[in-house]
Each structure stands twice: as C-alpha cells, then as structure tokens.
Structure 1
Amino acid sequence: MPLPIVAIVGRPNVGKSAFVNRLAGQQDAIVYDQPGVTRDRTYRRAFWRDHEFNVVDTGGLVFEDNTEFLPLIRQQALLAISQSQAVIFMVDGQDGLTAADEQIADWLRQQNIPILVAVNKCESPDLGLSQAAEFWELGIGEPFPISGIHGNGTGELLDILVQHLPAPETVTEAEDEIKIAIIGRPNVGKSSLLNAFLGEQRSIVSPIAGTTRDAIDTQVIRGDRKYRLIDTAGIRRKRSVNYGPEFFGINRAFKAINRSDVVLMVIDALEGVTDQDQKLAHRAVEEGRGCIIVVNKWDAVEDKDSYTIYEYTEKVRSQLYFLDYAPLIFVSALTGQRVAKILDQVDIAAEQHVRRVTTSVINEIIEDAVAWHSPPTSRQGKQGRIYYGTQVSSQPPTIVLFVNDPKRFNDNYRRYIERQFRESLGFTGTPLRLIWRGKNQREVERSLNRATKV
C-alpha cells in the first residue's frame, strides 16, 4: 500500500504549520503570526522510528463564519481526513480550552477516525502537564503537551500515532515520478488547471488574487506513469509584494521550479503575455527546466475564427522567443478542453530533459553543420575551429564544444549550431546548454582519446 497519511487539524494560529515543519524536518510550510495563512491542504513526507508517512497541513477551522475562504478550508480539511489513517487535533496550551476547540472536537467525533490531541505551545515541561490537563474535558482521549517549535513531547505523541499506522513492511516506496511545477501570475488559472487534472477540488479556486500561498503537491497516476503536480502561488512583480504570507508563498514557488522536471508556464489568454510572464519564463530557463507554455481561458476568447489560434501563437512566440523549444497548447481549465493533452507534452519534455547522446553522434552533427556553414573569420584572417563536442550532463542536456578560441564564435553562429542540434536531435521541451571551451590542439587530441576509450 502507498504511504499512510496523517492529517493535522485545529483552529487558526495554534501552530499546525510549525509542527508540520518539525515532522518533515524542513521549513516548507509557511509559518506567520496571522490567522488564515494556510488555506489548501499541503502534504509533506515525515517519518518516526520505522514508519514513513505523509503529514497533511490544513487550514484553520472556523465553523461560525462562512465568509471568504472558510467554507472551502473546511472542505479541504474534510478531504484530508477522508484520506488519513489518523488525525492529530492541535490546540493551544497557552490559550486554554476554547469554544472553537469544542466545536472541532464535536465535528471530529463524527469522522470515525483515530484522534490524538496535541496541546501545543507547552514549552515549559513543568507547566505542560497542567496546561494539557484542561483538554481532558474534550472527551476524545489523552491530551499530549508538546512544543512544535522546540520539539518537547513530540516523541511521546508520535509513539502513540504510529500504533494507528500500517506495518512498515506493508508500505511500498513511491516509484519514479515526473515533477511538474505549475507557475504563472495571480489569477491565470493555475489552481483550476490542477483541479481539472484531478477531477476534484484539490486547490481552493477564487477570483481573489493570492488565494494559493503554499506550494501544493499532488500525485497523479496515468497508465504506468506517475506525476507530481505542484500548484504554486501567483507571482507578482517584486515591488508589489510586501513581507508576509505572499512573500513566503513566492519563495515556495521559486523552490518548486527548482525541484521540478517540467514547468507549466500558464498564461491568461485574455491578457496575453506580460512583462511578468517573460520574467517567470526566464526563471524557468535559468533553472534549466523543461517547459510547456499553457495558454489558459481559451474558451473565453471571443470572435475566434480559424486563423485566431495561428495569430495568437505567432504573437506568443515573438514575445517568448527564448522559449522557442517549448510546446504551446491552448486549453480551458474551466471546461477541460485539451487539458489531458498537456501530460502528453510533459512526457515528451521529461524524456528529452534526461536524454543523453553519444559523442560520435554529436560530432557527426558538428561536421555537417560546419560543412554547410563555416565558422566566422576575424578581420585578422583567423577562423574559428570546432575540434569536437561531447555531452557532459543531462537535466538539461549540456554539451561542451572544444574550440580554438570561444571569442571567434559570435552569437549568430552559436545560435546556428544550437539549431542544428535541435533539428537533428529534437530536444523538444527542454533547454539545451552549449558550453564553448578553448583548447589547444594537443590537449584536444588527449581529451578526444579519453572520450573515445570511455
């Protein structure tokens, strides 16, 4: 069976995200002294003794108010519980028992799932037991005094928790998966796209900009392939972002790009490519990630005819010219139009991103390219010369070209060589890095002999 799941629930600002960070051993969940920072359910890998499991951070539960995101947060928490083997109900030991805690306890009793009460913010071992004692009144089991920040008491809590989890030998390790980061400006439809992939309300969707704050991981299985979709916060211009939840959310989005294999660059069809879209696309290129350009809300474009898609494609290509290798697809997350085809393009980009080509094939392409178009010659009559090339790494594919002098190859010729590689080898959906390295003839012969032997 897959990794078991443990949901962390409670009212706002009791320290759920700090506790999740401690269990996961990394500061991925956003922690900020403000109610409502966490909205969607976010999954993190955790372990205790021989048990490995996923811990789910959920938004703060409030039952007396139905404004803004609160009903959606409750829905996300309920979905997390439905997937879980156990629930950790977190309360605040410094605030003591509140009416909101009692409401959540009554709600949890109806879920038919093991519940452990974690009394957080009990930093003092002496006061911890007395702080926790009040929560016996909830009537759902022993309250455990803990400190999510310092780790006090978490061992005792986890010892009881793992008794409700399946035996470690019955849990299978996750197979290789393709990691996909969904990036873009606020309100371009990233969360709607994730929900369209899954056919469920995985992320909260709202017309309010900045709804998504954490990077939200979700696994999708199609055939024999596994994908990890990462929904990210909308990224605005730096000068528009204040220090706080949005600032942390954008940092998580940048980290999501870094840990992904392929990036879905989502663009609003009604607004077109903006300066911020260009900056985000540059970020994906700099990180060396595969990329698919997804033009969302295509259903909302009015007065379309048979030429509209071609005209729009030409416009996008001219504005994102540095992503000329990235496939372009027009979709509607609202209606599901062409959404399924995105993963077909992801498969190709992910395969090309890890592709390796032999040195002999690379040098055949170089030989043909030079035969058709000789390297430039300087005013002094000195011509550039490419001795040989070899691929040194993948993710993205990186080829080193050994030449007599890198300065003798201008940008136009470098772009020409890259085009020859792409025309001959493809590399669809992935950046291709060429490193031009100067080398004298004797060193070239020695290096070529070593490469031939390998």
Structure 2
Amino acid sequence: GRRQAIVSEVAGTTRDRLMADAWWDDYHFILLDTGGLESHPEGVIRQLVQEQAEMAVADADVIILMTDVVDGMTSSDITAAEMLRSTKKPVVLAVNKVDNDTREFDSPEFYGLGMGDPEPISAFHNYGIQRLMERVTAHMEPDPSRRDDDLEQMDETAPTFQRGALNLAIVGRTNVGKSSLLNAILGQERSIVSEVPGTTRDALDTQLTYNGRDVVVIDTAGIRRPGQVSKGIEKYSVIRAVGAVNRSDITLLVTDATELATAQDSHIAGLAWEICRGLIVVINKWDLFADEGVGARYRAAATIRDRLHFMPYVPICFTSALEGEGIKALMDTAQDLWTERMRLVRSRDLQFMLADALADHQPPVVRKHRGQRVQINRLQQVGINPPTFLFTVNDPELVHFTYQRYLENKIRDTFGFDRTHLKLVFRKR
C-alpha cells in the first residue's frame, strides 16, 4: 500500500509537538511522543517527564522503544525495557541513527535488551521506517473509513447505512462537573445496557439507550484525581481528552459557568474541528446564575462564540448537573446533531442548489492565476458523519477561501445543516 502523511497535528495541546493524529496505509492512530525514560530521574522537570511517559505507556496499544546506535545500549534503555516487559503490551524495538552500513552492524548489541529483533532506522533520512511501521501495524486493525483521496460516490439507492451507536465523549477541565454530568445523563435514562472497560485505565464507556437510540458515553472524568495537581499530569489530562475526542462522534465540552472558554477549552474545540467531530459546548453550574435572567445566557453564549469563532455553528447548552437541569435538552441537542451528521442529500437536489449558488454569485477571478476563475462542474455528497461534499472543478487552486465559505453557507441554509461541521472537498475533474 501507500503511506499517507500525518493528517492533522493536534492543535495547541502541547508546545513541543507532542501528539499527532496520523495514518499509515489503512491504519489510523494517535501518535504520542514522550520524553525519555531515565533510570534515576533527578529534578522536578525530569520527574514530570518520567511521569508523563509512564502514563502514556499505560494507555498505549503498541509501544515503540527508541534507542540510539551512537550511544549504544545505556542503563536508561535497560530500565525502559524492564518497565515495558512488565506491561505485557506489544513493543517494537527501534535503533535510531543507523545512517550507514557500519552502524547497522552495531545494532545487534540491542538484542541484550530482551525485546526481540531490533529494527535499524534513521528517522532523519527516513531509512527503515516502512519496515518499522509494518511491525507496528501488525498489532493494529485497519480503519475502513474514507480519506480525502479515496472519496467515492455513495450508493444512494441503498435502503440503510450501517450507523451503529452514537459515541458521546465528555471532556473538560478539572472540577467543571464532568462526573456529575455523566451521573445526570445516566439518571435520565430508563435502560442502562451495560458498563464496559474503556481504552484508558481511568475511563469507563457506558452504554445506554436514549429515545430508542444506542449511545456510548466515553467518560474522562477520571483524568485527574485529587492530589495529582502537577503540571505534567494537567498536561497529560489534555492528551487523555484528545483520545476521547478522537473516539467520539460528538464531544460534550463541559465548561464552568464561572470561568468560560479557557485556552484548554479552545484547544479541545480546535481538535474537534480539525478532525471533523461534532461538538456541543455545555455551560455547567448555571444554577449559580439562575436569578440573572435571559440576558446572562446571551452574554455567556456570546463569550463562547467569540472564543470559538472558527465554529460559529456549535450548539451551546446550559445545565446544572447537580440539580439535573438542562439534561434532557442537552441529550435532545446531541440527538439532533447526530441526525444532521447522518443526513444524506440527493445529488439532484445538490445540483439544483449549485446552479442557484452560481447564478447568485459567480466565483471570483483569481489574479495570481492569470485572472482565471474556478469552474464547478458537479457537486455530490460522498460521506456522512460528517456530511462530506465533493466538488468537481477545473482547478482546485482557483477556489478562494471566501467562495468556499459561501458554498458551505449555501449548503447549510438550503438543507438545514445548522449545527454540524461540513467537509468540502474540491477535486480536479
């Protein structure tokens, strides 16, 4: 197969580019780069790095143990190998900086770590990466979802589509009421089907039924426990939230009514936008402002929309999880958003809309391309969750971002996509 490069770097979760959403062939995964493990970490910073690395290992499905052929096998390598063996998780041993044949002959030294065959690589020169990733992906399941370069026309004659359960993630900062919100959601329901272990050691995926629809709630309420207040753990809590967002169809971003839309909230919202997940902002603890009238709601919503200006369509719900207020409205909003994300539009209706859009507003002339303008020949829907629309054009580089926004708004207004992310793809005919 072919390799697809990193799709989108997770926005703002770390300043040191710690994490990325990635594809390799047909395998989709979150790539997490930790600091180095040491046998005897000294100092607060090194201890925090060690702590983060150990938590990352605990949550990982597959681990790459990176060593250095120039330094040879070190005491830190031995310590790391001993720790990884105790996890009983798949580990692939990589020996980096193998830039020539002589260094490759040095890599057998690392058999002494007892981690199986060492894989010689040079990350800088992109040597050995294909073999390394073949060993990594051998422990993974391929992701069947489409990517931009694999878009095909959907079969609109099919009577049904495999939709499955609605995966709903609850994320947010510490003490905003995530646990209370989960309990309130579960208390609202008559039929809790089962509780199953999630992919993280603190999280539980809870299955329930709402209005006849299966829902899986991905809870990250256990991200940070009392007493664990170091910056390293706070930073890692964002990483855990990123994993929940990645697994979700819709993310509930829970904020505190007394402290709206912090930088961390914006980072998580930005991630949801980048990877095309549904998002609902939940302003919790609204009972503290119950006496301030409707105007307070407008002001709070305006603050959220100002901070999340890149998502003007995002729904905002007001709740008091402890009092059980606003929970039904929140779940109804999630259900409505899910319905939008699964909506299909007939190609004939899209063509009519496109004709109207072109008649109302022709594409602008692009001066840097010798005064040309884009010619749009066809529009079709090629995906759901999120709704994805493919425009067949003469040259994708002629599509100005303002005209793309115009077309998106036209689709929203015509077909009632009020709350969901829309994905527009422009491809040369």
TM-score under structure 2 length normalisation:
0.54
Question: Which of the residues 345, 353, 370 maps onto 1:357?
Answer: 345
- How do 1:247-396 and structure 2 match up within 5 A? 250-301=238-289, 304-379=292-367, 380-396=370-386
| 233 and 429 in structure 1: CA distance in 2 versus 1, 3 angstrom threshold | same
Amino acid at match of 2:420: T
Residues in 2 aligned to 1:182 and 1:403: alpha-carbon distance in whole angstroms: 39
Amino acid at match of 2:287: D
Residues in 1 aligned to 2:387 and 2:231: alpha-carbon distance in whole angstroms: 35
Residues in 2 aligned to 1:330 and 1:214: alpha-carbon distance in whole angstroms: 27
SS of the residue corresponding to residue 294 of structure 2 reads coil
Residues in 2 aligned to 1:395 and 1:322: alpha-carbon distance in whole angstroms: 19
Residues in 2 aligned to 1:313 and 1:249: alpha-carbon distance in whole angstroms: 26
Amino acid at match of 1:232: T
Residues in 1 aligned to 2:320 and 2:281: alpha-carbon distance in whole angstroms: 13
Residues in 2 aligned to 1:176 and 1:435: alpha-carbon distance in whole angstroms: 25
| 275 and 213 in structure 1: CA distance in 2 versus 1, 3 angstrom threshold | farther
Q: Is the 8 A contact 1:190 1:266 kept in 2?
A: yes
Residues in 1 aligned to 2:316 and 2:333: alpha-carbon distance in whole angstroms: 9
Question: Which of the residues 430, 441, 445 maps onto 2:420?
Answer: 430
SS of the residue corresponding to residue 279 of structure 1 reads helix
Q: Is the 8 A contact 1:262 1:289 kept in 2?
A: yes
Q: List gaps (5 residues or longer) in structure 2.
A: 1-49, 56-85, 89-162, 189-199
- How do 1:82-121 and structure 2 match up within 5 A? none
Q: List gaps (5 residues or longer) in structure 1.
A: 1-32, 39-120, 124-174, 201-211, 440-454
- How do 1:47-126 and structure 2 match up within 5 A? none
TM-superposition CA deviations, 1:85-138 (whole Å, max 9, x none): xxxxxxxxxxxxxxxxxxxxxxxxxxxxxxxxxxxx9x9xxxxxxxxxxxxxxx
Residues in 2 aligned to 1:390 and 1:214: alpha-carbon distance in whole angstroms: 42
| CA deviation after TM superposition for structure 1 residue 435, in Å | 0.9
Question: Which of the residues 388, 391, 404 maps onto 1:414?
Answer: 404
SS of the residue corresponding to residue 387 of structure 1 reads strand
Q: Is the 8 A contact 1:214 1:249 kept in 2?
A: no
Q: Is the 8 A contact 1:398 1:434 kept in 2?
A: yes
| CA deviation after TM superposition for structure 1 residue 252, in Å | 4.1
Q: Spell out structure 1 runs of 4+ moving beyond 6 A.
A: none
Residues in 1 aligned to 2:406 and 2:282: alpha-carbon distance in whole angstroms: 27
Q: Which range moved further: 319-328 or 268-277?
A: 319-328
Q: Is the 8 A contact 1:387 1:401 kept in 2?
A: yes
Residues in 2 aligned to 1:363 and 1:235: alpha-carbon distance in whole angstroms: 47
Q: Is the 8 A contact 1:214 1:252 kept in 2?
A: no
| CA deviation after TM superposition for structure 1 residue 381, in Å | 3.5
Q: Is the 8 A contact 1:184 1:234 kept in 2?
A: no
| CA deviation after TM superposition for structure 1 residue 306, in Å | 3.0
Q: Is the 8 A contact 1:270 1:301 kept in 2?
A: no
1:11 alignment partner in structure 2:
none
- How do 1:433-448 and structure 2 match up within 5 A? 433-439=423-429
Residues in 2 aligned to 1:249 and 1:308: alpha-carbon distance in whole angstroms: 30
Q: Is the 8 A contact 2:379 2:390 kept in 1?
A: yes
| 234 and 375 in structure 1: CA distance in 2 versus 1, 3 angstrom threshold | farther
| 356 and 240 in structure 1: CA distance in 2 versus 1, 3 angstrom threshold | farther
Q: Is the 8 A contact 1:386 1:402 kept in 2?
A: yes
Residues in 2 aligned to 1:228 and 1:268: alpha-carbon distance in whole angstroms: 24
| CA deviation after TM superposition for structure 1 residue 282, in Å | 0.9
Amino acid at match of 1:373: H
Q: Is the 8 A contact 2:319 2:326 kept in 1?
A: yes
| CA deviation after TM superposition for structure 1 residue 194, in Å | 0.3
| CA deviation after TM superposition for structure 1 residue 232, in Å | 0.9
| CA deviation after TM superposition for structure 1 residue 348, in Å | 1.1
| 344 and 421 in structure 1: CA distance in 2 versus 1, 3 angstrom threshold | same
Q: Is the 8 A contact 2:252 2:282 kept in 1?
A: yes
SS of the residue corresponding to residue 198 of structure 1 reads helix
| CA deviation after TM superposition for structure 1 residue 288, in Å | 1.7
Residues in 2 aligned to 1:351 and 1:274: alpha-carbon distance in whole angstroms: 29
TM-superposition CA deviations, 1:334-362 (whole Å, max 9, x none): 21111111111111111222222222222
Q: Confirm or deny that 1:405 pairs with 2:395.
A: yes
Residues in 1 aligned to 2:222 and 2:289: alpha-carbon distance in whole angstroms: 22
| CA deviation after TM superposition for structure 1 residue 181, in Å | 0.3
Q: Is the 8 A contact 2:202 2:223 kept in 1?
A: no
2:64 alignment partner in structure 1:
none
Amino acid at match of 2:241: A
Amino acid at match of 1:300: L
Amino acid at match of 2:232: N
Q: Is the 8 A contact 1:349 1:430 kept in 2?
A: yes
Residues in 2 aligned to 1:235 and 1:185: alpha-carbon distance in whole angstroms: 9
Q: Is the 8 A contact 2:168 2:251 kept in 1?
A: yes
| CA deviation after TM superposition for structure 1 residue 195, in Å | 0.9
Residues in 2 aligned to 1:225 and 1:318: alpha-carbon distance in whole angstroms: 33
Q: Is the 8 A contact 1:269 1:297 kept in 2?
A: yes
SS of the residue corresponding to residue 385 of structure 2 reads coil
| 437 and 223 in structure 1: CA distance in 2 versus 1, 3 angstrom threshold | closer
2:148 alignment partner in structure 1:
none
Q: Is the 8 A contact 2:289 2:296 kept in 1?
A: no
Residues in 1 aligned to 2:223 and 2:310: alpha-carbon distance in whole angstroms: 20
2:6 alignment partner in structure 1:
none
Q: Confirm or deny that 1:189 pairs with 2:171.
A: no
SS of the residue corresponding to residue 352 of structure 1 reads helix
Residues in 2 aligned to 1:427 and 1:269: alpha-carbon distance in whole angstroms: 28
- How do 1:38-49 and structure 2 match up within 5 A? none
What fraction of aligned residue pairs are identical, expressed as a percent?
A: 40
Q: Is the 8 A contact 1:185 1:235 kept in 2?
A: no
| CA deviation after TM superposition for structure 1 residue 416, in Å | 0.8
